[in-house]
Amino acid sequence: MDVPASVRDALGDDKAAMRLRMVRWLCAQGVRDERVLRALAAVPRHRFVNSALWDQAYEDTSLPIGYGQTISKPSVVARMLEWLLLGRNAQTLGHLGRVLEIGSGCGYQTRVLSLLAPMVVSAERLQPLHHLAVEHLRRWRVPGAGDCVLVFQDGSAGVAPHAPFDSIVAAASAECIPPAWLEQLRIGGRLVAPVQAPNGAGQVLLIVDRTPQGWQTLQGEGVQFVPLKSGTA
């Protein structure tokens, strides 16, 4: 399956053939939003993992980034972004607006988000990963990217000084959505996060919309993420 011309135009020279193969595969799996495909095509995923893993960087697999954490599968990143872009504020704005990311990790998803939003605030509880994400985002800039603010703190508390947010996305699974995330979501905003499945078997994506009348929730597909932990280390 071929990809839209605008997505091809986003490919850089750095591992371009591998990136194109990944995007073609995502298209074949049903990812349709060209904005998401362009962002994934534009960001050199291999630069955010250890060089020993470069040959696997564009496969649809999670990869270790150290400290018991992983970089998410491209297909999972794509689906979460598509869910976010269907939020009311995102549809009105034409982009994700002000974004809160829980779990900076190596900074890969942060960089992808920055191509879909003018401002991304990202919280990381592990100091070595926080420093790694800061360095990666400094080194691997992409034309057209929005601003990124990386914060070293417990992500379960959100980042109140930068709230409210139009979009919130979590890269770790909680038993239930922390109240702080809901409080920091703007009316019209959307939150996408992995949570424990209602039957206790595995994890699912939970999509939460904040409306003037309250909250609306939708259950998405099954996923597998590292658990959300509190505190810093």
CATH code at position 200: 3.40.50.150
Give the number of domains in the chain.
Answer: 1
- Give the Cα separation of 220 and 222 in Å (integer): 7
Report yes or no on 71 lying in a domain: yes
Report yes or no on 163 lying in a domain: yes
Nearest residue to 162 (alpha-carbon basis) of 153, 171, 175, 173: 153
Question: What pLDDT does 15 receive?
Answer: 82
Report yes or no on 53 lying in a domain: no
The residues that bridge with 206 in the sheet, in sequence order, are 193, 219
Q: 3-class SS at 85?
A: helix
Q: What value does the mean pLDDT take over residues 136-160?
A: 97
- Give the Cα separation of 150 and 196 in Å (integer): 27
Report yes or no on 2 lying in a domain: no
72 is catalytic: yes
* Domain range for 144: 61-223
pTM confidence score: 0.94
Q: Which residues contact 165 (CB under 8 A, 6 or more apart)?
A: 97, 98, 99, 100, 121, 184, 185, 186, 189
Report yes or no on 199 lying in a domain: yes
Catalytic residue among 72, 104, 114, 173: 72
The residues that bridge with 214 in the sheet, in sequence order, are 211
Report yes or no on 28 lying in a domain: no
**pLDDT category, 152, cuts 50, 70, 90?**
very high
Report yes or no on 208 lying in a domain: yes
Report yes or no on 40 lying in a domain: no
Which region, left, alpha or beta, applies to residue 164 given φ > 0 means left and ψ of -120 to 50 means alpha?
beta
pLDDT digits (tens, 9 = 90+) for 12-69: 667 888 988 999 999 999 999 999 999 999 999 999 999 999 999 999 999 999 999 9
- What value does the mean pLDDT of the chain take? 94
% of the chain at pLDDT higher than 90? 89
pLDDT digits (tens, 9 = 90+) for 103-120: 999 999 999 999 999 999
